[in-house]
Structure 1
Amino acid sequence: KGKSLGPGLSYAALLAGFLRSCPDLLPECPLERLGSVFRGKRQKVELNKEDPTYTVRYLGNAVTLHAKGEGCTEEAVGKIWAKSEAGAGGAKMKLTLGPHGIRMTPCEKGARRPGHAYLLHRITYCAADRRHPKVFAWVYRHQVKNKAVVLRCHAVLVSKADKARAMALLLYQTSASAFDEFKRLKRQSDLRHVQQQLLGDAIVPLVPLRRLLNAKCPYRPPAERARCAPRLSSILEEEEEEALAAATPLGDPGRAAVLRLASDMRGCSLRG
C-alpha cells in the first residue's frame, strides 16, 4: 500500500496523474515502475542485539595446572562431575555470554547465592567436555593476595550437547575478536605516541571524542575494575589544617594568618 498523503491520495497516484498530464517528461519510463519507487517496504533492523542467555546448572570448580590446550579441562571436569553427584547437586543459574566475558546470576529472585562475573581477558580456555557432552567448562585466572594467580576450571551443565558446543564456539569467537581489536587499538596508540615524540604534541592532532568513546575494548577492563587500581578516598579539611599546622614552625608569624585563611575558605565552600 502506497504512503498516504491524505484521504484518497497517495504519492503514487499523485505522481501518476502528474505524468499523465505531462507525457513528454518521461516518455520511456513506465508509470507503474516509477510509482513503485514510492511504495516503501517497512523493515525491522536490530541495532543492539542482546547477549545470549542460557539456563544452566553450575556444578562447581576445581584447581587445575593447565591454562590452555585440548583436553586440559577433562581431569578437572571429572572431579567436578563426581563432586556434584553427576550434575544433580548443581545450582540453577542464568549464564550470559557477552563481550566482557561470562556473567552468572541466580534464577531465583532473592537467592542467597551471589552472581559472578568472569572477565574475558582472564578466561584462558573453554570447551564442551568430551566425556560429558552437556558440560561446558572454562579455565579462569583468579587473582588472590599478593598478586598471585590460581587457575580454576569452572563447569556448568546445559540441556543439550549442541548448546554446550555452541557456547564454547561463541565464547572463542568473542575472545578472538576482542583480542584482535585490543591489538589494533594498541598499535594505534603506539603509533600516536611515536608521532608525538617526533613531531610534538602541538602538531599531532587530538583524538576525536567520538573515537575515544567508541574505542573501548572489552578485552581490556576499565581501570576502576582492576584490583591494582588505587582507591580514592575523601580527605577531611580538618585533617589538612592539622597537617598544615604541624608542618608550619611554631615561631612563624604567618602561621595564624594561614590557619585563619584556611578556615575562611572552608566556610565559603560549605556555604556555596
Structure 2
Amino acid sequence: MAVGDASPLLQEVLDQDRFERSKQQDIFLFNDSRQVLQRLYSVGFIGIHNEQSASFVFCHDGKDPDREFSGETRILVHPCYWLALATSKTRIKLEEAEEIHDEYEIEVTSESRSIRNKRIESLIQELNDIDEGMKGAYDFESWCVNALKIVFAGTLCNIEAHPNKISLQQRDVVGTNLGESKFWKRVLNDYKTRQVIFEIKNYKDLSASEYRQINSYLCNDYGAFAFIVTRAPNNNLEKGKELNWAKELYSEHKKVVIKISCKFLEKHLKKLRNPQKHDALDKELNSLLDTYVRRYFTIKAR
C-alpha cells in the first residue's frame, strides 16, 4: 500500500496510550507515524518499491534510516511475515515477491537503544533552547506535555494540554491517574484525585496568585492534589513565600500542591537512557510527598 494509506493505521496505535510502560515510553518518543515507518523499514519489516528496478528493497541493519517517505511511496510487508499475520489478500503475486531485494551484504546491527537515547537527548536540548517568561511560554508548555507523557507513561494516560477549552477554568495540562503504582495509588486513595493537574509556569518564582488559581481548580475528579511545574533549579519551596502559601492551602482547604522543577523532569528523562529495575521516579515522588506532609505542613511548637 501507499504510505499515505498506512500512516492513519499506525496513528490509531500511537493514540491508544494504554500499553505497558516501556512500550508506551518508546511510542511517545516517536513524533509521528512516518518515524515508525522508518524504523519498520530499518529492521526489514517493510520494504520500499524501487521504481527503477521495479522491485521492493528491504534493509536489515537496524540503523536509523535517513530515507524520507512521501505519501505516494509504495511499501510492502516482507513476505516472511505474511503467514504470521494471517495475510490472505495482497496486490502482489508470490512470484513477484520472490524478486524482492534484501540488503544482507551489510553488517546487521541493532541500534534501537542508541536511537532511543538520541531522541531523549534531542528533547532535553529543546528545553535548553526555550526562553523563560512569556516569550517561551507556549514552547515550554509543549515541552512539558511531551516530557510528562514519556516520564509518566504507564501510570498516567491521556495527558493533554487544555482539555477543557470551553470551560471558564482552563487547566494547563491534565492526565488520568490509573492508580497503577504505589505513588499514584496513594494520590488516588488519600486525595481522591483521578484527574491530575499540572499547571505550567515558565518562570522560577511563584506568587500567591498561582496557589489561589490552582485551589479553584481542585474539585470533583480533580480531588485535592496537583502539581505546578516551574523553571526553578530544584523542587524546594522558598521559605516565607511558596512555603507559606502551600502550607495555607493545606491547613485551610486540605489540598496538596507540589512544586516540581523542569530539571526534575529532565533528570528522569536522562534516567530512561539506562532504565533501572526499581521505579526511581515513583520512589522520589513518594519521598517528596512525605516531605510536604511531615515537614512543610507540620505546625511547629512555640
Task: Bin the TM-score by the shorter chain.
Answer: under 0.3
Structure with the higher fraction of residues in strand conformation:
1
TM-score calculated relative to the size of structure 2: 0.20
Higher percent of residues as helix: 2
When Rg is computed on C-alpha atoms for both structures, the one with the higher figure is 1
